[in-house]
Amino acid sequence: MKKNLIEFLNRKVEEYNRPSFIEADPVCIPHLFTARADIEIAGLFAAVFAWGNRTTIIAKSRELMQRMDMRPHEFVLHHGADDLRGLLSFKHRTFTATDLLYFVEVLKQHYSRHDSLETAFLTGMGNRDKDTTGSLNGFYSYFFGAVWEKADAIEIPARTRKHIAAPFRGSTCKRLNMYLRWMVRPADGGVDFGLWKGISPAQLVIPIDLHVARVARRFGLLHREALDWQAALELTAWLRRLDPTDPVKYDYALFALGVIEKF
């Protein structure tokens, strides 16, 4: 790989991995909070909502937090019927109240037994896993089954499954990979949080979409034509050659070049 390309990408990481990046990015939503569980819940919703216009994503994520009285952890644990009625008119693109109510109940079940959402992402993780394939597959299974203490505890809306991606379904898992970056990567630039230690930054997989893929192909870092999980792994493998311990820091460079700079 050409030295000048590596130096260029490293410069872009330094340029965008800083607090000034936060305001116009969905990561600004978990940055509204200081408590760990609030950050996790706000971050999950912001990541799940993260497709389309970033201004709209941020506005809808902030609206949901306001409907939860800016106390998302308290809300999911102790909401009543009147609180849930306040969510019924919420909608973001194809994410409707049906999906939202299921998410809230899953989070209630989880936080009733665990202090952190990290444990849900560790259910499918093996000690020798090189990436988060098992983690994301395990999270999907947990979210739509294992979280419930009884198999018949709740009816799972079929439509809601599309809002949680998984490698076994062929998805790039772009939004969940972005969420994991927020939670796992160190807060070296003030953007990511570095809250979770059970997953290593070296195991993270790049959040890839059409913009990132276009830039990666232009640099010769991605050759797979299909935009799927294998494409995400292929690009991540290239990025590990640049930094084996923290390959996903290059998300800042590739995303900014594709979305902000229209490279």
The alpha carbon of 47 is separated from its chain's Cα centroid by a whole number of angstroms, namely 5
pLDDT at position 195 is 98
* Mean model confidence pLDDT for the chain: 95
Judged against a pLDDT cut of 60, whether residue 151 lies above it is answered with no
Read off the pLDDT of residues 96-148 as tens digits, 9 standing for 90 and up.
Answer: 999 999 999 999 999 999 999 999 999 999 989 999 999 999 999 999 998 88
Judged against a pLDDT cut of 70, whether residue 150 lies above it is answered with no
Judged against a pLDDT cut of 80, whether residue 153 lies above it is answered with no
Cα separation, 165 vs 171, in Å, equals: 6
pLDDT at position 154 is 76
Cα separation, 109 vs 192, in Å, equals: 26
For residue 1, name the pLDDT band (cuts at 50, 70, 90).
low
**What radius of gyration do the chain's Cα atoms show?**
18
* pTM as predicted: 0.96
Read off the pLDDT of residues 194-236 as tens digits, 9 standing for 90 and up.
Answer: 999 999 999 999 999 999 999 999 999 999 999 999 999 999 9
User: Domain limits of the chain?
Assistant: 21-201
Nearest to 11 by CA among 258, 263, 249: 249
CB-count burial class (<10 Å; 0-12, 13-18, 19+) for 225: exposed
